[in-house]
Amino acid sequence: MAYRPSEVRNQKQSSIQEPNIIPIMNLFLTIIPFLMLFIVLSKIALINIDLGSTGSTGGAGEGGEGGNGGKKELRLQVIIYRQGPSAKGKEFAFEIREQEKTTKTITPINGRYNYVQLDNALRELKARYPETFNIEVAPDHDVLYDDLLQAIDISKKNGFLKVNYGLINVEIGFYRVAIGGLDAA
């Protein structure tokens, strides 16, 4: 007794069914934004600057005494000028301030920042204040990011381990105005 041929055999065997790649595409579409987010967060974590600091210390410490036990903390600043109206003749210059009084101005060499003199000035400053580990770097609004990072690296190399980001404080008459900062562009 002969059986009739199966219907599966009669179908075209040349038509190969394509794999369904929609689940794999959905997986990649959800993973890629998270990977990009982690890359950005890891880049931000590598630059250890405090973007919210204005130089004030406050809040209670672990003992509840409130900061540094009543001593006024020394405020050291490195101000970076580039060009424009806020530089006022200090193009490509650094200015070092102690307790908001200018102690040293580092002039440029050949129209560029003088990083060697900044390194020497910060080394002298650290020798005068060996217990101080905080410094505030305040760039003018048009300072390049690379120049800011070089100033931060020089500060850390000289023992100022906590580098805060700040704004340039200028006194105009009776008013104290904060100018500068990094543009979002």
Give how far Cα 45 sits from Cα of 33, 38, 40, Å: 18, 10, 9
Longest dimension (CA), the chain: 114
Mean pLDDT over residues 162-185, rounded? 57
Model confidence at 157, in pLDDT bands (50, 70, 90)? very high
Exposure class string for 5-22: b at 16+ Cβ within 10 A, else e: eeeeeeeeeeeeeeeeee
CB 81 within 8 A of CB 96: no
- The residue behind tokens 């000289």 is 158
Give me the domains of the chain, ranges plus CATH numbers.
74-179 (3.30.420.270)
Model confidence at 63, in pLDDT bands (50, 70, 90)? very low
Q: What values do phi and psi take at 160, rounded to 5? A: -90, 95
The predicted structure's pLDDT at residue 1: 62
Kindly report, residue by residue over 103-153, the tens digit of the pLDDT.
888 888 888 899 999 999 999 989 988 888 888 888 887 888 888 889 999
